[in-house]
């Protein structure tokens, strides 16, 4: 019986928002699994720093600054990746943002900024990369959503809306692009400790509120997501598309 491998040797992975937080951890994880990586975020110095870190592990890495909400910059990012490696086998659509406010206080600027990065840009990055994958005969797209695309939470309405949209987008793209040998799935993390939320999570009131809802009674670490993403990117998930893989310590099982 054939046993599929989770190795990514020889494959090229493009990770947006990969200079910090979840994207940074996933870029390193994909590299450890054998992929050559394209590091992308808005700051070229940050991209170069992370690419240099990955090169020290023996993997190839290239850095390219791009604002994923700007279509021309996304096109240049993809062109750069293809010029460097000839193809893109894996896209991790990770760049995201959030705003915390009561629903009655959310402004149009807040709503448009969060949905623009978290949902609109996710589609248009996937579209540009998807066209390349169609030309080359296939690929894997992993959209980073959230458990808050599946369940609600107070004071983060635009985030919930955008992540719910990403989950539906994942399903629709999977259906359209299955004929091109492109698999599209979503990763739905629960509460993961990152540099962006670390300070808030040190506040007892916030920490206790969140952990009390997690059956495993702990917050997630970025490392908790790496295996799931390597699995989705690999041949081991070769018959999986249009799905949302939830990594949340049991939050959404309740």
Structurally, how many domains does the chain consist of? 1
Nearest residue to 169 via CA among 130, 209, 123, 208? 123
Q: Which domain holds residue 53?
A: 12-247
How far the first Cα of the chain sits from its last, in Å, is 37
Nearest residue to 33 via CA among 238, 236, 249? 236
pLDDT for the residue numbered 74: 98
Task: Look at residue 252 and tell me if it is in a domain.
Answer: no
Task: Look at residue 110 and tell me if it is in a domain.
Answer: yes
Task: Look at residue 253 and tell me if it is in a domain.
Answer: no
pLDDT for the residue numbered 215: 98
Q: pLDDT 10s per residue in the chain (254 long)? A: 777 789 999 999 999 999 999 999 999 999 999 999 999 999 999 999 999 999 999 999 999 999 999 999 999 999 999 999 999 999 999 999 999 999 999 999 999 999 999 999 999 999 999 999 999 999 999 999 999 999 999 999 999 999 999 999 999 999 999 999 999 999 999 999 998 888 889 999 999 999 999 999 999 999 999 999 999 999 999 999 999 999 999 999 99
Task: Look at residue 37 and tell me if it is in a domain.
Answer: yes
Q: What is the pLDDT of residues 138-154, one digit of tens each?
A: 999 999 999 999 999 99
44: CATH: 3.40.50.720
pLDDT for the residue numbered 5: 84
Task: Look at residue 2 and tell me if it is in a domain.
Answer: no
Q: Is the pTM of this model over 0.75?
A: yes
d(CA 144, CA 167): 9
Instruction: Tell me which residues are annotated as active site.
Output: 159
Residues 6+ apart with CB under 8 A from 178: 241
Bridge partners of residue 92, in order along the sequence: 15, 142
d(CA 150, CA 101): 20
Q: How far is CA 231 from CA 69, 80, 110, 185, in A?
A: 28, 26, 34, 11
Task: Look at residue 102 and tell me if it is in a domain.
Answer: yes
Task: Look at residue 243 and tell me if it is in a domain.
Answer: yes
Give the CA radius of gyration of the chain: 18
Task: Look at residue 4 and tell me if it is in a domain.
Answer: no
The encoded tokens of residue 98 equal 């959030």
């Amino acid at each position: 019986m054939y046993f599929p491998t989770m190795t990514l040797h020889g494959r090229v992975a493009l990770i947006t928002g990969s200079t910090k937080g979840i994207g940074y951890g996933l870029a390193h994880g994909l590299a450890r699994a054998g992929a050559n990586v394209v590091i992308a975020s808005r700051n070229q110095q940050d991209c170069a720093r992370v690419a240099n870190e990955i090169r020290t592990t023996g993997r190839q890495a290239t850095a390219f600054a791009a604002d994923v909400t700007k279509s021309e910059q996304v096109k240049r990012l993809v062109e750069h990746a293809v010029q460097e490696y000839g193809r893109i086998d894996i896209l991790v659509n990770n760049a995201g943002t959030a705003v915390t406010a009561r629903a009655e206080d959310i402004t149009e600027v807040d709503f448009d900024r969060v949905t623009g990065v978290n949902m609109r840009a996710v589609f248009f990055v996937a579209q540009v990369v998807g066209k390349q994958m169609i030309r080359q005969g296939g690929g894997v797209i992993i959209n980073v959503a959230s458990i808050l695309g599946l369940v609600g939470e107070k004071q983060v309405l635009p985030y919930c809306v955008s992540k719910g949209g990403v989950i539906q987008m994942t399903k629709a793209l999977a259906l359209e692009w299955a004929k091109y040998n492109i698999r599209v799935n979503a990763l739905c993390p629960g509460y993961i400790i990152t540099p962006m939320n670390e300070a808030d999570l040190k506040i007892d009131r916030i920490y206790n509120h969140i952990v009390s809802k997690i059956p495993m009674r702990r917050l997630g670490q970025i490392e908790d997501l790496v295996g799931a993403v390597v699995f989705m990117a690999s041949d081991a998930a070769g018959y999986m598309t249009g799905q949302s893989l939830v990594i949340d310590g049991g939050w959404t099982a309740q």
